[in-house]
A and B are shown apart, each in its own frame.
Chain A
Amino acid sequence: EVELVDSGGDLVQPGESLRLSCEASGFNFKTYAMNWVRQAPGKGLEWVAGVGGGGGNTYYADSVKGRFVISRDNSKNTLYLQMNSLRAEDTAVYYCAKARGGPGGRDYMDVWGKGTTVTVSS
């Protein structure tokens, strides 16, 4: 069964850092791009970052560029999101999501984790 298990969400103060993880199973992880998508309380979906299958190509939303870093360890079938300089507006449920078509990032997302909650508040 294809599955993504995301974790690492927590309550942190503004300016602090946090790393999210997403463990993948049931598919050839290295052959698919991966993404992080977030959803603020009561709001819609916002794409945050994406990474190609090989890990060399990364892409970010303007709202997180320079603060967040997406990476992957294909030997561990794990996706990461390092979040630095967190702000109140980063409060959201963060989902990892698998690209549908392959290693390139410009894609739809056909498998999602259950989400992990990040709360940024003093």
Chain B
Amino acid sequence: EIVLTQSPATLSLSPGERATLSCRASRSVSSYLAWYQQKPGQAPRLLIYDASNRVTDTPARFSGSGSGTDFTLTISSLEPEDFAVYYCQQRSDWPPLTFGGGTKVEIK
């Protein structure tokens, strides 16, 4: 099973600041990694797939990068609606599909 480790667990930032979230895989997942956003009481929402491809309605301030074992989600300038929990997920090797433990982006 591929284990995904996200860091930091919590990121405290102000609106307008840049957010950098990390996801590290226990072995290579090539570029088969996605990022999801989840707000309280809501289902997750797919933001980015295959490491760097934005889903149609994902704002351009979200960008993904990386390959192999190290991946980054960057939010260039935080908007109030971006404060949420973010999860990475791999589809390189399954079953199981696996998720990271999540990074909470909170208002400082």
Q: Which residues on A are within 8 Å of B, measured CB to CB? A: 35, 37, 44-47, 50, 59-62, 95, 100, 105-110, 112-115
Which of A35, A45, A46, A50 counts the most B-chain CB atoms under 10 A from its CB?
A45
Complex Cα–Cα for A107 and B99 (A): 12
Whether the Cβ atoms of B55 and A110 lie closer than 8 Å is: yes
Question: Quick check: A107 and B91 within 8 Å, CB to CB?
Answer: yes
Query: Are B46 and A110 within 8 A (Cβ)?
Result: yes
**Contact of A44 with B99 in the complex, beta carbons under 8 Å:** yes
Q: How close is B105's CB to chain A, nearest CB, in angstroms?
A: 15
Instruction: Tell me the bound Cα distance from A113 to B49 in angstroms.
Output: 19
Known: A108-B46, A108-B49, A109-B46. A46 touches B94 (CB 8 A): no
Tell me if B102 is interfacial: C-beta within 8 Å of chain A. yes
Give CA–CA (A46, B95) in the complex, Å. 12
Residue ranges of B at the interface with A (Cβ–Cβ < 8 Å): 34, 36, 38, 42-46, 49, 55, 87, 89, 91, 94-102
| B96, A61: Cβ atoms closer than 8 Å | yes
**Which residues does chain A contribute within 8 Å of B43, judged by CB atoms?**
95, 112-115
How distant is the Cα of A30 from the Cα of B49 in the complex, in angstroms? Answer: 22
Contact yes or no, A46 B99, CB < 8 A: yes
A106–B100 CB distance below 8 A: no
Nearest-CB residue, chain A, relative to B34: A108
Chain A neighbourhood of B99, CB < 8 A: 44-47
Residues on the B chain within 8 Å of A95, using CB: 43-44
Closest to B33 in A: A108
| A114 closest partner in B (C-beta) | B43
Q: Contact at A106–B91, with CB atoms within 8 Å?
A: yes
Could you tell me the distance between the alpha carbons of A105 and B89 in the complex, rounded to whole angstroms?
Answer: 14
Q: Which residues from chain A contact B36 at a C-beta distance below 8 Å?
A: 45
Which residues on B sit within 8 Å (CB–CB) of A106? 91, 94, 97
Residues in B with CB closer than 8 Å to A45 are 36, 38, 44, 87, 89, 99, 102
Known: A44-B102, A50-B95. A100 touches B49 (CB 8 A): yes
